[in-house]
Structure 1
């Protein structure tokens, strides 16, 4: 089968198209003939071995797949690796049936980015009706869905932060009430101004560095910031407990794999709600581009440039 393989860690240049044997499923696993593979920021960290879960070589990257099983089931699934290939293996609990009315591309937008936005709002910041929410990287895969979900969940004011006029315009079309340029010299001041002069209640942050530090300083009493990525590849300053007490603020992290450890099958709850919203037309995954499998390098370059909008996917048949 054709696959993208990494034999040394690094940037997009280490992604190489090659021929490999078909993977063999073990007990409790499914072999999926992949039609589309999702691309996300975690993949770029996996390629350079800077992800939360250490990688080993050689490696076929990719953690999101959509396609059909041997018995014809149409599924979207998560894998620890191996997604950038014509065939991949996934654990049965990590696979979800794609309902009618939902495309493979839309399903891939939901399995990580959609579920991440849902968990951030429902579990991490526990958004209450009427509260303000800041969505950083609002033009990205998570951001475009988080803006829409926040609206559906009753947010009082949605502030979308993005780096281009087109992305900010899209956020407004998706339901944001105000926008902020991500290059703002003082993010604290910009967020407070966008919230009508008041500090904000909740922040979804996947940027890191200065943006995180200044977003924390924009939180209102009992405000919450959920940190779920580091697109800037810059670490924020260490959090001082005394500073949290100053405004009774909460800063937490979220990594989607931990959702499987929660009682009540939270991931299934998220996927069921997201699938239903897409099928009925109340949630619109934004597709940012489909690349042939052979152009995985170009997809990573585009993603790392932070100029893309919505969800990027690889067509494993092209």
Structure 2
């Protein structure tokens, strides 16, 4: 079968389409004929050997697929690797039925990105109605869904995005205000966007000064949920005494840990796919690309030239 394989770490040039053996499902697994596979920023980090988990080469990247099982079921599935391929093997517990009214791009977007956004809002940050929620990188895959899910929870959303077009896009998704994260004083900018008040929740995946100045913007009992470091710069040290002084919480989240709770993820996926089918949740299509264009897709992703959900078509 055709698949994308990485045999060395590096830039987009190290991803290549090759012929590889088909995977074989074991006990409790299902073989999926892949219609679309998702592309995530984590795939670029993995390719560069900067991912949270250790990686052994050669490797077929990709952690999310949608397609058909041999028995005809249409399934979307989270997998540990192997998604950039014509066929992929998934655990039955990590494969979710896809309802009518949810296209392939949306079905994939609700996996790593949708489940991350859902967990951050419902579990990690525990967003409540009428709270102010800052969503960094609001035009991205996780961010665009988090803006909408927070709003559906009754929160007031403040989005950040790097360009005027992306900030306008975040406003179109339901954000009440949009801020440039490169502002000289991001803390003050977030205060201003929240009518001069500190904020209740921050969903953060940039790192560096963005994390530090976001923590400074938290109100008493505020929560910052850290789920990535796209900027590549570690935040400064957080003082436990300062956290105590303001009764704020800084927590981390990695979706791989949530895979141990498939029943919760199944509930989350069913909830979000129902919202998509009902027109309540909008998945932003960021590009439906042939798998043969994977190097260009990775270059665009790493260069921050993408918006919404990117997918690969393994048949092309």
TM-score by length of 1: 0.97
SS in 2 for 1:265: helix
Name 2:281's counterpart in structure 1. Answer: 283
Give, in angstroms, the shift of residue 306 of structure 1.
Answer: 1.5
* 1:259-314 CA-partner distances (Å, limit 9, x unpaired): 2345x821112111101100100001001111110111111111111121110000
Q: Which residues in structure 2 correspond to 1:108-257 (within 5 Å)?
A: 108-155=108-155, 157-257=156-256
1:87 aligned onto 2:50? no
Name 1:63's counterpart in structure 2. Answer: 63
Name 1:292's counterpart in structure 2. Answer: 290
* CA distance, structure 1, for counterparts of residue 263 and residue 25 of structure 2: 24
* 1:78-136 CA-partner distances (Å, limit 9, x unpaired): 11111101111111111001111111110111011111111101101101111000000
8 A contact 2:219–2:248 mirrored in 1: yes
* CA distance, structure 1, for counterparts of residue 27 and residue 93 of structure 2: 12
Name 2:299's counterpart in structure 1. Answer: 301
8 A contact 2:160–2:178 mirrored in 1: yes
Q: Unmatched 5+ residue regions in structure 1?
A: none
SS in 2 for 1:65: strand
Give, in angstroms, the shift of residue 186 of structure 1.
Answer: 1.6
Name 1:72's counterpart in structure 2. Answer: 72
8 A contact 2:15–2:295 mirrored in 1: yes
TM-score by length of 2: 0.98
* CA distance, structure 1, for counterparts of residue 214 and residue 248 of structure 2: 11
Name 1:315's counterpart in structure 2. Answer: 313
* CA distance, structure 1, for counterparts of residue 19 and residue 92 of structure 2: 26
* 1:188-224 CA-partner distances (Å, limit 9, x unpaired): 1111111111000000001111110110000000000
* CA distance, structure 1, for counterparts of residue 39 and residue 121 of structure 2: 22
SS in 1 for 2:300: helix
Name 1:260's counterpart in structure 2. Answer: 259
* CA distance, structure 2, for counterparts of residue 308 and residue 192 of structure 1: 28
1:12 aligned onto 2:12? yes
SS in 1 for 2:259: helix
* CA distance, structure 2, for counterparts of residue 34 and residue 272 of structure 1: 20
* CA distance, structure 2, for counterparts of residue 298 and residue 278 of structure 1: 29
* CA distance, structure 2, for counterparts of residue 194 and residue 254 of structure 1: 26
* 1:223-269 CA-partner distances (Å, limit 9, x unpaired): 0000001111111112220121121110000111222345x821112
* CA distance, structure 2, for counterparts of residue 230 and residue 196 of structure 1: 28
* CA distance, structure 2, for counterparts of residue 116 and residue 296 of structure 1: 24
* CA distance, structure 2, for counterparts of residue 288 and residue 260 of structure 1: 25
